[in-house]
Chains A and B, each alone.
Chain A
């Protein structure tokens, strides 16, 4: 069997705040038979500038990332939102620049969020039994859910490893992170976080494919002194194969 070559785009947020989730993602991909490389020179996908309306600046950062990832066979990210940036928003940014548009489309078509890549490309739906008996709350990041249509992929993998996904009425609602939104309108953002946390049933941990949401929710949980550990999806999936 030919080794699947994967380039990891760690994303700036995971790089800085969830380094161990990046390590888990690499080990998991290797365990599943991938050869993982880490293209040097990577920084941020450019989403903060794009969402704030600074498209010229976003294009500059996007162009840099296009160059970094151009040679990859597959690009995998431990983040639904940054995957959306590469997959959906890069082509939109370059819709008036045919050459860059073509390069953006090429990158778009080989870019995947981690759980999505495991299920859709590797064709793996079971990951060992390492989460037996765990009660997990899954927060669907909005971009992964509504822009990319990813709903079942992470849940399938978690359940296959024996985890129970708790029934959370607000599981698909926005947590209120929204990048700069969280600091531009902090009171509204916190109201949204509280709505998520107030409807959360008893669980062993809270997870998501999106580090931004997790930082925001973890910060709120700590501020409110709630007792709920946060774990990035990649870390849990690595535990699943143990």
Chain B
């Protein structure tokens, strides 16, 4: 996916101005998801589940090299072919080789964010392949040529009317078609795709090191079809997606479903144990797992940021985030949006390429409370901001202002002088100023006026 995270402030402002319906659609959908999550958490000992899941992922990450080798051995034992990709380009090469070796013409894709990260669709299309996204939301945004706006609900930014118009243009459905009718049209076309495709590409919610199990959870059945109908199944797996033991799956699957959509479990859970075996009537002839690093191992070595790698991509933090709700995911300018994107993207693409993202938060802390693996997102945001300062990536005027502030605030006489100066300003001076900070404040807010006398002045006058 094209990286434009440095454009976040402008893109967010423009979207709010020009497409107010996005704010409405995203706010409605995320509030709904978030309420369901809260209910689903309340049904169980969510706090204990979260702490346990955090512990399992921490353990995994501390021993990741060993678990990756164990996973490779288990997968091979199951007859799965294992590939390693250090960078996006390596993963692209591997997928292209598999496709070429089997003369693939059509690829069906189950929803995978990693594939967005790797820029797989444009690559496959450049090789002359037909690429069909089969998650309904992904199918819709693929037609519109847009990237996902949300990790779980990629078309969350679209309202029903926009989808009706799109289907009307493409498939001549009536403009007042019901969501069920629209889904039926998509289903028919997707079914044809599943039968035509030689290759299915998926991600993975989890890969179990102990048993080599590829675990996938969904609600539409498209992932099961995409991973079982075509001759080839290729699973793209970030190296942090492992779980140590098979028995870890039960809580992780349910916790992820609760966090993501408020379900106790996704409607379909596929546990894939390798390709079709002799005597089995269906399933792919070959299963490939591509383990992708693409910046993850350097993130793991980062003492300030490694906890981001616990992420299970449930998007609970997006749903809980009042900042994300204003714009959806597009202004964030990279695959992952919302709070997790704001801390993960700088780690994956480098802070210089994602400078504004750690500031795309009011530090309200709702993300941390929602996160099923307790990633301390507010602390990580602060840590990225600190790093921006250390690396000289913040505006010079800001750095100077903060230094001036710290100078004055460590000198009580200077603070008192500022207190007096503030009261000598003419009335409404703070509302009509050329100072950029105050201008940004007063553009949408009125009536900023100091108390006639400060508390300190009142105290010293003996009036308290």
Contact = CB atoms under 8 A, between A and B. Distances in A.
Contacts of B273: none
Nearest to B414: A43
Interface stretch (B72-80, B164-172, B215-223, B383-391): B383-391
A188 B324 CA distance: 9
A211 B388 CA distance: 28
B264 interface: no
B410 A188 contact: no
Contacts of B448: 215, 219
Given A43-B410, A146-B368, A23 B458 contact: yes
A46 B405 CA distance: 9
Interface residues of A, number: 66
Nearest to B451: A19
Nearest to A24: B464
**When A and B form their complex, which 4 residue pairs have the shortest distance between CB atoms, in order from nearest?**
A219-B445, A178-B362, A53-B385, A174-B364
29 contacts: A16-B454, A19-B451, A23-B464, A49-B405, A52-B394, A53-B358, A53-B382, A53-B384, A55-B389, A60-B410, A61-B405, A63-B410, A64-B410, A142-B364, A174-B323, A174-B366, A181-B361, A181-B362, A183-B437, A183-B441, A185-B323, A185-B359, A186-B444, A190-B444, A190-B445, A195-B27, A219-B444, A219-B448, A222-B445
Given A40-B412, A173-B322, A142 B405 contact: no
A52 B405 CA distance: 12
Interface stretch (B103-111, B247-255, B287-295, B396-404): B396-404
A38 B444 CA distance: 35
B362 A174 contact: yes
A2 interface: no
B446 interface: yes
B17 interface: yes
B353 interface: no
Nearest to B23: A191
Main secondary structure of the interface of B (DSSP, over half): helix
Contacts, number: 198
B9 A26 contact: no
Contact of B419 (A16, A176, A195): A16
Interface in A95-122: none
B365 interface: yes
Which of B386, B387, B406, B422 has the largest number of chain A CB atoms within 10 A?
B406
A184 B359 contact: yes
Given A184-B359, A185-B360, A187-B13, A195 B412 contact: no
A61 B409 contact: yes
B445 A185 contact: no
B406 A60 contact: yes
A185 B451 contact: no
Given A49-B406, A57-B405, A15 B362 contact: no
B455 interface: yes
B142 interface: no
Contact of B364 (A10, A27, A146): A146
Interface in B1-46: 9, 12-13, 16-17, 23, 27
A132 interface: no
A185 B9 contact: yes
Interface string A201-235: 00000000000000110111011000000000000
Given A49-B405, A53-B389, A19 B454 contact: yes
A117 to B, nearest CB: 18
A182 B322 CA distance: 13
A41 interface: yes
B345 interface: no
B387 A53 contact: yes
A84 B378 CA distance: 13
Interface in B234-262: none
A223 to B, nearest CB: 4
